Amino acid sequence: MKFSKLNLSLLLAVAANATSPIGWGKNTTGGEGGVEYHVNSYKELKDALNNNGNPSGPKIIYIESPINGAEDDNGHILSAEELVPGFSFQKYLDCFTEDGSEWLNTDECNKINELRLQGAPIQAAQIMVRITPNTTIIGTGDDSRLEEMSIQIKESENVIIKNLSVEAPNDLFAEWDPTDGIHGSWNAEYDAIVVHNSTNVWIDNCYLSDGAKGVDTTQFVFGKYIELHDGLLDIVNSADYVTVSNNRFENHQKTSLIGNSDGRTTDRDHLKVTIYNNVFVNCNERLPRVRYGKVHVFNNYYYAETFKPGYPSLTVDNYYHDDNANPQYFIGLGVYSDVLSEYNSFNYVGNEEIPAADDIVVYSYGGYTFHDNGSEYNGKNLDFDKMAEESFKLKVKTKMAQNAINGKSNPAWTDATFTTETFEPSEYYDYEVVKSIDYVNDLINKVPTWMFNDVESFIKDVDEDSELSVEDVDAEIENNEDSADDSAEEN
């Protein structure tokens, strides 16, 4: 594979662990120039965010050890039974019929459910940590791991989360709803990271996953594994100017939601997000799922399997054969979304029982503004715009049929016409797309950078036929780092 000088800047940004974002979050500086903290416990993290009584002041927080949000001030990890004495998740499971279709309406079961409901706000208060304005939280090595914690970037601004391993928290009081979907569903709370009504946020070079407590490690009951996780990275409630770059998302079901309600009209003209150079491996859906926002998705690598235990990706075409079901997908188009996809690599593997199907790429929930430039599905060029249009038309047909049966009026989007006239990112920020899908495919061996400690192997695709040698690239990295340092001093 060859890199031209035109695309070298993006390569260097990844290899050198860029010090500033591109895209909608371009003005994010985090805690630059602020007080530095080195933390090794949950209590120390919360104290650092308070910043000696000046929580909005600039600060850089270095995570040097694994930190667990379920630990108390003495470092003890709290269980569900300790948070709510008398509660037992197994007893909760036993309060359903064997197939999970009905709740046993006994006094004992109703008491267990009452305790479960009491536990939810108690756990929320324990694991949710509010990220104050003008903050950089950055990892220092392989031990920089946050687990059982919900990072709340809420009503804040100018925040950077960087170089961290973030494991999705487990809802200790998750709910089984037999009426949710065709066969019932688990509903869990607590996202790993939430950007809520906040501006100028950069999530970069992180590893986000279910960690050691994956879905396939839980009990298999009612025909499903118990799902104790919600989202990995949700961007909601008028959040704006966000860049998500150089991250690896792995082994998760509901990955990234941008806009969390069709009826939240206050999200109009907000939810502007850039997503580039990320890797999504065995993440079932929401990569992302967008409502209202102007979202730019480029140079990302996607990989999913139809047969992955705990994380099977199943679509309308290859499994459900019914748009009333809840299929999996890579990019979800919600109401009033405006999504531009460029040079992404979509990869989907099936088997004889459940083959792959290209409708994994894009799925409409009422969204009708989408365009793709240069992306590939399993190494092939396909008409992704046509796929999106067909999905939208099918959603309109299904929605109108449902409303006719139920006597409901149709939403405005059912009268819309699908269009490929998306917003143009270059009108808002400078960026360069790498037009080599080989480069995008190789992100799985590069992102995040702290998982790969050999820069020369990181850029091994620069060969003797390239315009630049490895030595040239090393020199350019040093020059870029010096320039970044000079720029930081000037600012």
What's the pLDDT at 325? 82
pLDDT for 291 beyond 80: yes
When mean pLDDT is compared across 57-61, 181-185, 438-442, the lowest value belongs to 181-185
Residue 5 confidence (pLDDT): 36
For residue 483, name the pLDDT band (cuts at 50, 70, 90). very low
List pLDDT tens digits, range 139-178.
999 999 999 999 999 999 999 999 999 999 999 999 999 9
The pLDDT of residue 470 is above 50: no
Beta pairing partners, 185: 177
Distance in angstroms (rounded) separating the CA atoms of residues 355 and 341? 25
* Mean pLDDT, residues 187-201 taken together: 97
Count of CB atoms situated within 10 Å of the CB of 78: 18
Q: Is residue 268 among the annotated active site residues?
A: no
The pair phi, psi for residue 437, each rounded to 5°, is -65, -25
Q: What is the pLDDT of residues 380-392, one digit of tens each?
A: 999 999 999 999 9
Q: Is the pLDDT of residue 216 over 50?
A: yes
How much is the pLDDT for 17? 54
Give the per-residue pLDDT at 455: 46
Please name every residue paired with 248 in a beta bridge, in sequence order, or none if there are none. Answer: 207, 279
Tokens of 151: 């990072």
The catalytic position among 248, 286, 289, 291 is 286
pLDDT digits (tens, 9 = 90+) for 409-421: 999 999 999 999 9
Specify the range with the lowest mean pLDDT, choosing from 180-184, 315-319, 380-384: 180-184
Q: What is the CATH number of domain 5-75+116-445?
A: 2.160.20.10
Cβ contact 256:289 at 8 Å: yes
Band of the pLDDT at 372, cuts 50, 70, 90?
very high
Please say whether the beta carbons of 77 and 71 come within 8 A.
Answer: yes
Q: What is the pTM of this model?
A: 0.89
How confident is the model at residue 183, as a pLDDT? 83
Cross-sheet strand order for the sheet of 199-204: 35-39, 59-63, 135-139, 157-162, 199-204, 240-245, 273-276, 294-298, 338-342, 370-373
Span 294-312, average pLDDT: 97
Task: Choose from 9-13, 75-79, 339-343, 487-491 the range with maximum mean pLDDT.
Answer: 339-343
A 10 A CB-CB count for 144 gives 23
Which residue in 342, 407, 397 sits closest to 364, CA to CA? 397
